[in-house]
Structure 1
Amino acid sequence: MTAIKRSTPLEDLRHVPWPEMIDSTGSAEAIPVLLTTVARGDADTAGPALGQLRQRICQYGFVVGQATAATVPFLWELVRLPQVTCRVEILHLLRSIADARQWETTAAAYPKLLRRREKYVEWERDARHAVQAQRGVLRHLLDEPDHEIVRASRELAATLTHR
């Protein structure tokens, strides 16, 4: 008899070199703690943790960085977990990431940006691709009994369709 291995939420966090990445505050090493707090926390702790995470990976709601693409798969994982209390807000964050074009737009006007050591435009594209890569999750979320989840899923789906 073979035992079935049950994965725990965010099990793959340890496989990402967070300290080697940067977010809007510097080192991205706090991202796993914030994601874990969102996954395990009640509304009083999960919401503020997601707010901090948003500031780190999608500052001002439109500026993404190096750690954003690596974080997106974990956001998709969290949004699938019914016990996560801020799934609607996670869907809004994914939509903001999918809409992010700050660096790409700036580089069009100032091509010197493309020659910087920091790969801002590449990070932004990678983040958008990471959101697109798991858009199939939305099919399941559209069947949720929570109307806010369904609405946020439709809004994200519309954003991904128009890109």
Structure 2
Amino acid sequence: MAQPQSARRSDEEQGVGSPLRSISGVGWGELRDATGAAADGIPALLSRIAYGDETRARIAIDDLGDAICALGFVVGEATVPTVPFLLELVGSPHTVCKAELLDLLGSICRTDQWHAAAATTQDRRYDASYQRQLGWEAASRAAVHAGRSAIEDVASSVRPEEATPARKLLQVMDDTPPFPEL
């Protein structure tokens, strides 16, 4: 017997089913990561996190962190479209290494290198590249904030290895104000 549409929608909203279904809808080959390299390797890293064992997932998270939040504080063009997939994985009951994913999201949320540099600059005229980097930081932080409900769900987990880093991320989110207009 087929499930009613409302039940199917509910399952999808809760993350039940195959994670990363919409990953092919992103033009990864057209994006650059935080190091300036092509972002076409990001889907494979996300898949290893979603479907790999704990060891493979940890390695993939490290590699993904280098690609979307280089050095722990530099985001790139591909960071913004990656964040919803990280949030999806954090909310999935089958994902291993949620603490590491939550830490990565925290690093993305705290990123403010370009905004800090812009705030100290006397000359308020920036080239187009600099403006894009400011935009990536703002959009990346906003993308993390958009996933607050998913993070709150994990923070209410009975598993302290998941709940504690989720609560820490919520605190980071509360402590990171919106970027000022430059």
TM-score between the two structures when normalised by the length of structure 1:
0.92
Counterpart of 1:72? 83
CA shift at 1:113, angstroms?
A: 7.7
Counterpart of 2:58? 47
- Select which of 150, 156, 160 maps to 2:169: 156
Counterpart of 1:115? 127
Aligned partners of 2:2 and 2:93: how far apart in 1? 28
Aligned partners of 2:108 and 2:80: how far apart in 1? 9
Counterpart of 1:14? 24
Counterpart of 2:41? 30
**Runs of 4+ displaced beyond 6 Å:** none
Higher mean displacement: 106-115 or 47-56: 106-115
Gap regions ≥5 residues in structure 1: none
Matched, 1:89 2:94: no
Aligned partners of 2:63 and 2:151: how far apart in 1? 24
Gap regions ≥5 residues in structure 2: 177-182
Q: How large is the Cα RMSD of the aligned pairs?
A: 1.8
CA shift at 1:25, angstroms?
A: 4.7
Aligned partners of 1:10 and 1:114: how far apart in 2? 37
TM-score between the two structures when normalised by the length of structure 2:
0.83
Q: Percent identity?
A: 35
- Select which of 123, 140, 143 maps to 1:130: 143
CA shift at 1:142, angstroms?
A: 2.0
Aligned partners of 1:22 and 1:71: how far apart in 2? 12
Aligned partners of 1:22 and 1:156: how far apart in 2? 26
Aligned partners of 1:117 and 1:75: how far apart in 2? 26
1:114 maps to amino acid: Y
Q: What is the total number of aligned residue pairs between the two structures?
A: 163
For the 8 Å contact 1:91–1:153, the answer to whether it is kept is yes
Give SS of 1:22's match.
coil
CA shift at 1:134, angstroms?
A: 1.1
CA shift at 1:112, angstroms?
A: 6.8
Counterpart of 1:57? 68
CA gap of 1:2–1:29, structure 2 versus 1, over 3 A, is same
